[in-house]
Amino acid sequence: MRPRGKGVTILLLLYAMIVTAAAIIGWLRTPPGHPFSIIPDVFGQYDAKGRTTIAAQLPDPTDTLPDELVTTLGQKLALGELDVTPLEIAERKVMQLTEFTGSSQPTRSQLPPCLMLKLKVENKSTNHAFHPVDPAFNRKAVLKEPAVVGLYPTAGRSFVGGPIAWPFGKGIQRVYLEGQENDDQPLQPGESREVVIPSLASRELVGAIHTAKQPVLWKVQLRRGQIPFGLHSVPVTALIGVKFDSQQVMWMNSQG
């Protein structure tokens, strides 16, 4: 009986080693968090030089965000190294600024009314800076480059994308809206900042959200720093939702 007992013990030890190895391999290959909270940071204007294409596997616009990635005005959402708090949503007539290569002054142009989502973002990292917002994340929707961010009413048409085309055209160094002047500056460890996310510039959008009788979900993509992945750390972004009612929007007096 002793040899048999010894053999069983060896088999159990081998089984435990195999299970442990499988767990380690799974940990090395599977980063923590919901897939929408760990979207690879592989495209954008900031944080990585020369990225001008959209190569990430983005969520489908019809996909439902999990509850842990949805917040409301005034409620902070923790995303690893990024804390984000939606502060307000307001209707605005905003100015677009275009900086051309070799020019010292940007060109200004008035856009149609849009909605502006103001967020407070805070870098919780202790050792590295990153850009939470990026013009690539809120780019104007075009064919073959799907946009997921935007406004999703409970009923009726969705309005995806933002007002600014990205990548920028030839000879254009930067395009941004009033309130986004500091977006090209990285957020340092421990630093907080208020940023604004514009909707698609559209009177139809403004009218539809103004008359919406049910809640609206504003999907926003943000860079959230780095996460552990195996023996390394990798940069990631997250797709979150801000749920609000039409009554919470600060409408301009001219809106009927």
Residues 6+ apart with CB under 8 A from 182: 193
pLDDT at 142: 79
Per-residue pLDDT at 21 exceeds 80:
no
pLDDT at 103: 85
Residues 187-234: tens digit of each pLDDT:
999 999 999 999 999 999 999 999 999 999 999 999 999 988 777 788
pLDDT at 233: 82
Per-residue pLDDT at 139 exceeds 70:
yes
Question: What type of residue is 104?
Answer: S
Per-residue pLDDT at 176 exceeds 70:
yes
Per-residue pLDDT at 20 exceeds 80:
no
pLDDT at 29: 52
Residues 95-129: tens digit of each pLDDT:
999 999 988 899 999 999 999 999 999 999 999 89
Per-residue pLDDT at 2 exceeds 80:
no
Q: Which residues of 161-194 are buried (b: 16+ CB within 10 A; e: fewer)?
A: bbbbebbbeeeeebbbbbbbeebeebbeeeeebe
Of all residues in the chain, the percent with pLDDT exceeding 90 is: 64
Per-residue pLDDT at 39 exceeds 80:
yes
Q: What is the DSSP letter of 68?
A: G
* Model confidence band, residue 10 (pLDDT cutoffs 50, 70, 90): low
Query: Between 71 and 58, where is the model more confident?
Result: 71
pLDDT at 12: 53
pTM: 0.84
Give the three-state DSSP class for 225. strand
* Model confidence band, residue 143 (pLDDT cutoffs 50, 70, 90): low
If phi over 0 gives left and psi between -120 and 50 gives alpha, with beta otherwise, what is residue 221? beta
Lowest-pLDDT choice from 6-20, 28-42, 58-72, 200-214? 6-20
What are the domain boundaries of the chain? Answer: 1-30, 33-248
